[in-house]
Structure 1
């Protein structure tokens, strides 16, 4: 079955385990998917300095310099295009997420932004083939990250020590507020984005307000950081009446170090670090502000930060030195040390041969390392050693199993009660083991929890049947090969050929697919081999012309099954009541319903225990660091419990309101969480209102319309490219001076993405992760709000078509000279 390396039994076994669903059992591990994308976060210090009255082409500018401006420019203009060109023929997307590109905010100065980037690192680690983090470290340590939470003991100790040092503690008291709902109570840092509501908004009316609020927060941050550093540094020298030993746990690391440490824990082989050392640079050097840590307003060296930098560099050397001998991987090659001679005033000339040699070395090293690690991952994958048809089937199956594995870890309220006490399910399970029986059908409206319920049922069946059972899983419209019943049915039949004891399939005619499906099920049943087949999300959105061609497959799925065959189908509530619905199918559904093999979703309040609901709400609140008293928690649970039987989308609505973005909206509007009479349209409008106030209505409309106008979904790289071609955005967002590179700020998109929260979802097309609205009714609501006018529809489709026709991946103009950037 497996082609490629001869006599490779491990590859053969791994392939069979995926095809037969054996990897889903406890103790087994899913193989890592090799995605057709490389997603790399680029992290460096944001600290820099402003050079005033800089004349360019007889025009006066104030230019802000960052520590690694030139290196990041090389990445964008040379390294990235070469990588995209190289991997284009392999169908692999390469995306650099530069945290500082066209972004005025220093992520290290807002710890909640750092937490957001840690989530983005998680995503890049799971979905990038090879590297997922590129870190630049120079002679400067940079801004430290403030703690988001302090115990009452630590807070009081810091306050007392700061007072002993004659530090003003008013900002500490204003920004760290006691949360007595925590056990034990603690002081939490207010989110600056909530207190300064216009920081991220750059519209015509809020541009100056945004700049002012950004400066105000920077001043607050500088004072708080100075206070923390002074307290922690002077603590050993003070004869305090209080025990300050617990303060040793407060590390005050830079944002760059925190993100690198987090990524290295995920996978050191996926982290690359550029260690640049300026020889001859010291506190007396002219133009050194952007390249070395100095005390505020002086030319004196900040010894505390420099000591932190020394330890950070040592830890990088340690973490990127442990080689993987089993896989012949030299992790130490992920660490590149480059020495550069310091130039007076920090002005590195284009004709400087030594500096140009350094840039060429940097460019080549990063290109080769990204290329080699990606190719190494591909070469080690099982899919690389399969024939083309086997590879397609293997990847399709593994995507669905990976999605199943992710969902199966989520809690499903009422499920344990259901499997223990639902007589219809217990009767179906008992009958399916020994006699002919109908498939089990889960019926419910959109966003009623059918997908999670089906997944949990499969998980329960596999645990019940044991490791001899085989399993085939498909989620409707999850991939580009599962968009309708025809694609799913033929894919299932193809996978059936790999099952144990399954007969060989001869040809691919429609009648033979149906015959083969029935033959395999009978053969497995006769051989006492249990098989579980799940298809989730069969909807009524299939056009009538497709329905006519696929109706025979749906009829086949509804037929009686032999013993040992467990088929679970999740369908939309209205699929059998449509005018074009087949009469024969309606009759089959009536028989299935008569035999009590139809389960309604969601569960009623008879199935769900209110105490379990309370624990679920509490756990969701803990995940987003929001806390309420027990009495409030009980009241919230009671509100939800009373709506379970009335609101079919209750658990999706609960996900929306128990989200950080929704709480941020409530905080800015000075509202309290109210779960009585949850309404989809009201909650949807709250999210939209929050986005528009936070980012501006024009920018929101651009992003929403591109996502809504895509046929199924859109890749993140494609979305950012299309936004980068939108002149209206740049004129709105950069009103004073256009940036040197006309690229949509990746950090703005990340902030936007996490603000939308559960309204967004992902699909997997051609082994790439693409973005779409979480449900079709969300897309409909977005279109009703933003795509009502013909002109808006025309503009959105024009921009998308222009991008794919004229600027797809290669030869995309990235750089805009300053002389042309002024209007």
Structure 2
């Protein structure tokens, strides 16, 4: 879409309006996003009808999620391009084609591009994708010059910059503001509503065209005007007349539009927007543009773009001529306005019409009019329509005036902004003309004020601020997303679930009159459990009446039920809060007091049972809380115990191998087996029936060959999820498409769609988007995802946003929208942390994506780091940005910890610690989260003490860190006090940490200082401890790891997070110390292990064994990369050099050997001891090697050439078992077989100390103590 008319206005939207709106609305927790659907496009989206249709659907999405303005349109003085119809009804197309044929024209073009689709009901002729013939056609760049020609009828030169602003709210509504320079954009607000404004720089709206009213835009007779474009490309478009129009650019491509007359028209453009020049006579047209940018596109793409533009205009001319004839002859229904207009309506006109049909009160139009425009000025043709003799086109101006009159009639004054601008010979030039600069300032300030007013007005009206209390709004925000999900799922077609539904109906009726248990529905994922439970909710209303209390919870879709972080306690708290509200108890719940919660829960159930009402509690996906099902956090009897009459609970549980133990534990609580309801495997016939029902509902069908392929695919399927995935694909199949093969498993269907996306968009782009969504703890909002993609310079390169010199470096929303649509069922929206987040709809999808894209640790950590940088507002800090990108405007929304004094950024509280933890940035984790007082206090205020403790525990389970452990113990010990008054946090931390802060100068000391500063600034009385009387928060034992098979030798990574131990099974086990999980097993030895060591790089582990070998294994893969077998007997010890270039081994054959790790060759082999070599050591500089043996002596060697330096054997009374050298090379410590410990001077070999008292054999612990 052309943006030349509104170049400066568009720039102002990004650089002035957007930041100002963000600044004004951020205290209310509102995110503002400006989305330009044409940003990054190579051609005007009007040329690609499929892209246009996809874009215009965002209007409805914006309005549906809005509580305020959703469409902002900029209107100038020019008209717009006419669209090709996407579908034409069967009979209508035949009439038009016949009319074209009767005029003597070849209908081959119409037959080629419009193909009959019998899968539609009724059949239609569908416009084929452009890439069907022009394989390299792409809308993926951001530059376009369009020269259009329409024989002797009408010429349209349009501008319609289509952008959108999205405003997202942090409370119970979602506020989206988009701009509609001919594009809709939707963003969502933080609660279940939103305000969307679409921006559309639409200059001209072309209504209908007929042969009797030609509209001609001709420019200057027989003169050729050259307009320079800073993108040297030339596009060639041939037309039905034989004139040639050349549009040159500065990026080595040319566009030639040939006409049937013999003049040449040179149109040049220097901006990244499309320019449309139309001719109906033999004059030349001059189109000039002032802003120069460079675009690089492939020659193949440019060539296909040129060919399609030519095809587009020829096809449009033919359809308009045929339609006009059919209208005149009455062969097309004259009463149906759309049938008359669809062949002549411009894209901008359709957008405005669509927006006004949706709402006339939520649109904002900014209309700019130039005063006293001089048509002979060179720049005039860019801002208004001219005739062939360079006079103002009266018809075009009349159409625009009619449009303005219609808008003035339909809209209130608050929805219109008028700007009268003085004409300048160079057009709009705010750099040269002070009046134009004032206009741009006025334009920006007016839009900011108007949008702010409309948004705030709708927030006040729709949220009923002051009517509902905060607690009531929290109940609504927690319950409404579940209600909406229930309604959506219950409408899905699953006829095969009717039998299970009937069984549950009987159980509910039984529970209406006597004691019973909860109903547990269990089946593998994707079996339709959520749909079944949603139907049961409606069934309860049908059985027991409309006054039935129905509380529904889908685990994972709201803040209080996030599957990765919440527990049964949070679930119980959520249910009690809603029940308390519905029964008007208004009790002050201590939500962290589990015993009190349980007691109150049972009292509420008892009250319902004794009343005349029924209660149904539906809990879907409790297996996602499996981490707490086996703990004593909340006794699960409240879910599985006996229930009173009229109280019903229905649960669903995914049965997977990983859930087997938890499933058995939970099922064992059920006394009555009748209440265990499996969802059986569906038959192929049932799946086929489901498939056909959905196609019929959507007005589609499939051919016999397509039906056969579907039948073959679903005959082995076990869950409806596969049917839904195939169904989503089949809805797009035309009747002439024949599927070669379809996936026969859910994993296969998921993988196949991902492969298709990778072929279309590139594996790097698809993989990075998948990693970002999967890396978030609960998903990402659309704004957050676009922000983090825009911060990734590599991704911007892939999206083509760094090649054309735009000041706006933003990931194209149009590209994301297309990817989002192609992902389809993979994504779902969940309302968490007062934001609508995108996440994977099924665990099966998540598992396949993790297996496919989470293969490299560096990429995983970088994804977490990118998201962490976003929430730290530091995305531009320390990033490697190439010089050509350093000045780019990425328009990233702010993520402060506090929106205002009473409003917290829940997204930052939830995501920041999680992202820093998984990015491996432990210092950043402590500095910004766990040792940051503001963050700790905000976490308790916004959530609860239990949530803060849960986050600290999860952090400590991932990383063994003394400071995090100390903070965790402080908060746990202070929990009862903090439950009553969270503001006592500072006093508690000061009192508990003051005595230990000197031991932790990095972060604990800083935290204590932060607490003191907060106390100094607090204006109410507060007890601040100046001395410590509370117990030391540290404990001698920090953690322990159970090793069921026993431990013989061990080594620990330098950061203390992992340990490697040898076992009696002749294997090396790798444990993650914080989580106590067995990570990997290294096997291969056939005899007991004697030693284990890590390389300094932490990439390899080496193990020695009595089987005469040393194995070197890669830690990440667990595979052996070297096996050193050059030993005459069992290997007793091994030692690595500091540079990881050599391994030294000692064996029972009295040899010690130096082996190269690179080549595996034995560099040195010495037999200088008379007994087995049991110990090895190197000094700090790796210049001296020490070998010890059961022959009661220690020998020192030069490491380079193994020259013997000395022998230490004085007072060594038995064989040497262990040996260590102090760091400063002063002392040598020996552990002997006779259970004594000797400390010797390393220099002289004399005794310093001799210690006795040990009663067992000494092992490698001595070495660990001294090294």
Structure 2 CA distance for partners of 1:481 and 1:506, relative to 1, 3 Å: closer
Q: Are the structure 2 counterparts of residues 530 and 192 from structure 1 closer, same or farther at C-alpha, using a change threshold of 3 Å?
A: same
Tell me: CA distance 1:278–1:347, structure 2 relative to 1, closer, same or farther (3 Å): closer
Higher strand share: 2
Q: Are residue 255 (structure 1) and residue 339 (structure 2) matched?
A: no
Bigger RCO of structures 1 and 2 (CA < 8 A, at least 6 apart): 1
Matched, 1:355 2:436: yes
CA deviation after TM superposition for structure 1 residue 606, in Å: 10
Name which of 265, 269, 272 aligns with 2:364: 272
2:601 matched residue in structure 1: 517
> 1:127, 1:769 within 8 Å by CA — same for their partners in 2?
no
Q: 1:226 corresponds to which residue? A: 317
Map of 1:782 onto structure 2: 849
Aligned to 2:768: 702
SS in 2 for 1:441: strand
Residue 475, structure 1, aligned to residue 554, structure 2:
yes
Q: Distance in 2 between matches of 1:383 and 1:547?
A: 43
* Structure 2 residue 727 is the aligned partner of structure 1 residue 658: yes
Contact 2:520 2:652 in 1 (8 A): yes
Per the alignment, residue 53 of structure 1 pairs with none
**How far, CA to CA, are the matches of 2:434 and 2:465 in structure 1?**
43
Structure 2 CA distance for partners of 1:293 and 1:166, relative to 1, 3 Å: farther
Q: Indicate which of 610, 615, 619 corresponds to 2:697.
A: 619
Q: What is the number of residues matched between the two proteins?
A: 724
> Aligned pair 1:487/2:570, yes or no?
yes
The alpha-carbon distance between structure 1 residues 289 and 796, as it changes in their structure 2 partners (threshold 3 A), is farther
1:428-480 alpha-carbon deviations (Å, 9 max, x no partner)? 12211111111122212222221111111101211222222122121111012
Q: What is residue 71 of structure 1 aligned with on the other side?
A: 9
Report the more deviating stretch, 789-798 or 597-606. 597-606
Which runs of 5 or more structure 1 residues have no equivalent in the other structure? 1-45, 48-64, 322-331
1:192 shift after superposition: 2.2
Q: Which residue of 1 aligns with 2:461?
A: 380
Whether 1:460 and 2:539 are equivalent positions in the alignment is yes
Following TM superposition, by how much is the alpha carbon of 1:813 offset from its aligned partner in structure 2, in angstroms? 15
Q: 1:704 to 1:581 in 2, by over 3 A?
A: closer
TM-score in terms of structure 1 length: 0.79
User: Judging changes above 3 Å, is the alpha-carbon distance between structure 1 residues 289 and 687 closer, same or farther for their aligned structure 2 residues?
Assistant: farther
Alignment partners' CA distance in 1, 2:496 and 2:797: 52
Q: 1:376-455 maps to which residues of 2 (within 5 A)?
A: 376-382=457-463, 384-385=465-466, 386-416=468-498, 418-419=500-501, 422=502, 424-455=503-534
Residues 762-783 of structure 1, C-alpha deviation per residue, up to 9 Å, x if partnerless?
A: 2112322111222233223222
Which deviates more, 362-371 or 187-196? 187-196
User: More displaced, 211-220 or 556-565?
Assistant: 211-220
- Equivalent pair of 1:136/1:275 in contact (CA under 8 Å): yes
C-alpha change, 1:403 and 1:540, in structure 2 (3 Å) is: closer
The DSSP-based 3-state class of the residue aligned with 1:793 is helix
Which of 683, 691, 695 is residue 757 of structure 2 equivalent to? 691
| Equivalent-residue separation in structure 2 for 1:635 and 1:303 (angstroms) | 60
- The CA RMSD over aligned residues, in Å, is 3.7
CA deviation profile, 1:296-321 (whole Å, cap 9, x unmatched):
x9968788866654554444334324
State the partner residue of 2:873. Answer: 806
Residue 600 of structure 1, aligned match among 664, 674, 678: 678
Residues 226 and 117 (structure 1), Cα distance of their counterparts in 2 relative to 1, 3 Å cut: same
Quick one: structure 1 residues 541 and 445, their matched pair in 2 at CA, closer, same or farther if it must change by over 3 Å? farther
With 360-369 and 152-161 compared, the bigger mean Cα shift is at 152-161
Deviation at 1:754, TM superposition (A): 0.9
CA 1:392–1:102: 2 relative to 1, 3 Å: same
In 2, are the aligned partners of 1:282 and 1:292 still within 8 Å (CA)? no
Aligned to 1:548: 631
Q: Cα gap change, 1:505/1:469 in structure 2, threshold over 3 Å: closer, same or farther?
A: farther
Match of 1:499 among 582, 586, 610: 582
**In 1, Cα distance between the equivalents of 2:390 and 2:103?**
23
Which structure has more helix as a fraction of its residues?
1
Larger Rg, first or second structure (1 or 2) = 2
1:214 Cα deviation from its structure 2 partner: 3.0
The answer to whether the 8 A contact 1:141-1:305 is kept is: yes
Rate the CA distance shift 1:606–1:99 in 2: closer, same or farther, 3 A: closer
Aligned-residue offset at 1:502: 5.7
Alpha-carbon displacement from aligned partner over 1:124-145 (angstroms, at most 9, x marks no partner):
2233342222122221221222
More deviation in 184-193 or 226-235? 226-235
Instruction: Give the aligned partner of residue 212 of structure 1.
Output: 303
Classify the secondary structure of the residue corresponding to 1:145: coil
Residue 595 (structure 2) pairs with residue 528 (structure 1): no
**Greater shift after overlay, 604-613 or 78-87?**
604-613
- CA distance in 2: counterparts of 1:393 and 1:98, whole angstroms: 36
Aligned residue in 1 for 2:702: 628
Alpha-carbon displacement from aligned partner over 1:35-58 (angstroms, at most 9, x marks no partner): xxxxxxxxxxx13xxxxxxxxxxx
Distance in 1 (alpha carbons) for counterparts of 2:31 and 2:811? 17
1:517-566 CA-partner distances (Å, limit 9, x unpaired): 1111111111121112111111246436x8525451x3211111111112
More divergent stretch after superposition (705-714 vs 304-313): 304-313
Counterpart in 2 of 1:62?
none
Distance (whole Å) between structure 2 residues aligned to residue 302 and residue 471 of structure 1: 65
Please give the alpha-carbon distance, in whole angstroms, between the structure 2 residues aligned to 1:265 and 1:403: 27
CA distance 1:429–1:579, change in 2 (3 Å): closer
